[in-house]
Amino acid sequence: MSGSTSWIRFAGAFLCIGLAVTTWVVMAVTLQGLFKSYPQSYFMVYWIHSWYAVMYVAWKTWREFPGNLKCNRAGDGSLTWKRALWSSAVVSVTSLLSAYFWYLSLPQTSVPANVAIYQSAVAFTFILSVPLLRESVTVVKILAVSFSITGVALVSVYSERDKSGPVHQSVLGYVYLVTSTILYALMEVLFKKLASFKDDPASGYNGMRMVGLMGIHTVLWMWPPLIVLHYSNVEPFHWPSKDILYQILYNTVLDVTFNASLFICVALSSPLFATVGTVTAIPASVIVDYIRNRRSSFPLVYVGMMMIIVGFTGFVLSEFMHIKRDKREADKIARDNISIASDYYSADDKYASINAIPSNETDSLLEKRVNWRNNVFKYIL
């Protein structure tokens, strides 16, 4: 992958994270109030996830755009249709279950604690990414994840101690939340493992296609639980009023925007980068909670917020240095190849023995010479 392409992917992933964090915080606040008047968790999940199908329309529009050379009829990148269909079904089920348990947790947890614990998915994502995605383990990444997890713990513990807010917090709410968190981490890793490829020339575009197919799967296959929940009286269904319907539509736009941004970010970068990036929603949620409820937090909450920001900054630095290192290695290999070719054709008898080295051995020696200089930086960053 060229240096310019890496920078474009990194910038796109960074913008997607900013959009995802903004919509996440707004959605957490608005949904908490919505569930007080309309506690239909599964219907909300089914309705909102069904609208992911809109991204399929966006994908088709982008694909057929006359000036788009990458995403034409023959340019679906590395993701074949067969793989896209079955992998989107797997990710769709995981995503729906994660969202359902999160919705159940919202009326029973505070906004800062909810966001903080949910973002602890960074730990599960890191653990799953190493064996499943061969995520490199470096000193900076370990420190970044450790800072983020510690910050999450501080914000969670000291937010949960504050019972003065308008939300009744319960143990069951936090059980729902932890279950949702694990499923969320699994969903991101599965998406990257099954439907995203490092050198895919249409990775962001295929992210749109996957989200759209997830919406189609939801519409076609995820409706039976609505009937079961209704007749078992777990969630008796009744159609929302006009005002509540407007709120649902508003949150539908937020949720579709959040998940589309998240999956495109994963496609452009990695699940770990996306998860660490969304952790920055915690400081934003604390600020929003203070503005809404005029309630200050414990001092250690602010310490935790700073640790989260430091952790994310460290991870961005790691990605930044990784891109620069890849570019330096590619440039070095290109220069050395030119030098070797020049020496081969202009060598005198003094260097005849060197020029006699077969090309495959020369390539091996060149690779070793380039790699040993970067080993220290590789394991640090």
Q: Is residue 1 within 8 Å of residue 198, measured between CB atoms?
A: yes
Which domain, by its residues, includes 309? 3-321
Q: In this structure, is the dihedral angle defined by the CA atoms of residues 332, 334, 338 and 340, taken in order, positive or negative? A: positive
What pLDDT score does 91 carry? 93
On whether both 314 and 339 belong to a single domain, the answer is: no
Give the number of domains in the chain: 2
Half-sphere CA count of 210, side-chain side, radius 13 A: 39
Number of H-type helices and E-type strands within the chain: 16, 0
What are the DSSP calls for 227-272, one per residue? HHHHHTTSS---PPPHHHHHHHHHHHHHHHHHHHHHHHHHHHS-HH
Model confidence band, residue 172 (pLDDT cutoffs 50, 70, 90): confident
* Share of residues in the chain with pLDDT > 70 (%): 64
Which of 282, 298, 321 corresponds to the end of one domain?
321
On whether both 73 and 205 belong to a single domain, the answer is: yes
On whether both 99 and 224 belong to a single domain, the answer is: yes
On whether both 344 and 222 belong to a single domain, the answer is: no
Q: Is residue 102 within 8 Å of residue 177, measured between CB atoms?
A: yes
On whether both 139 and 70 belong to a single domain, the answer is: yes
Instruction: Read off the pLDDT of residues 265-285 as tens digits, 9 standing for 90 and up.
Output: 877 777 767 776 776 666 666
Instruction: Read off the pLDDT of residues 238-257 as tens digits, 9 standing for 90 and up.
Output: 888 888 888 889 888 888 88
Residue 216 has pLDDT above 50, yes or no: yes
What pLDDT score does 344 carry? 52
Instruction: Read off the pLDDT of residues 82-139 as tens digits, 9 standing for 90 and up.
Output: 888 999 999 999 999 999 998 888 888 876 677 767 767 777 887 888 888 877 777 8
Query: How big, in percent rounded to 5, are the helix, strand and coil portions of the chain?
Result: 80, 0, 20
On whether both 84 and 68 belong to a single domain, the answer is: yes
Instruction: State pTM to two decimals.
Output: 0.69
On whether both 136 and 251 belong to a single domain, the answer is: yes
Measured CA distances, 131 to 17, 74, 351 (Å): 24, 33, 46
